[in-house]
Every structure is written in C-alpha cells, then in structure tokens.
Amino acid sequence: MFQSHVIEVTGIFAGVAITVPGRFRFVAIDQRVADLDATEWPTLADIRRVVLGMMARNGHLPAPSGAN
C-alpha cells in the first residue's frame, strides 16, 4: 500500500511524496517546483531540502539559512 507525505515549505503546499519500495516519489502540486515532478529521492528530508532550495533560487522564498 502506498503512503503519502505532504511536502510543505514555509507554509506553501509544494506537493506530496509517495512511498515506493525504498524511496519516495515526489508529485509536484505547485507549478514553481514542476521540474521535480515524478523524481525519486532516498529520504523526505532530501525532497524538502531540494524544494526549498528551488523555490529560494527562483525568488519565491527567503534563501535557506547557511546559503551564500
């Protein structure tokens, strides 16, 4: 059975991660992260980090702490 996890970054619903054997598949809901749709990642933290970084680089969020 599949399990889904909401991917929300600073209050913005970006998409969901669906468990697949040994990984998580990202399903983009927000068009700002559409390029990540259907990508697979080893952890939920990886997805959240990449979504936050993509939205920050595109000027939609403040840069993540520690970014140069």
Would you state the pLDDT for residue 68?
47
pLDDT (0 to 100) of residue 65? 57
**Biggest CA pair distance of the chain:** 41
Mean pLDDT by 10 residues, the chain (68 residues): 88 94 95 94 96 82 54
Nearest CA to 7 out of 22, 24, 20 is that of 24
Please tell me the predicted confidence (pLDDT) of residue 9: 85
The pTM of the full predicted model, rounded to 2 decimals, is 0.81
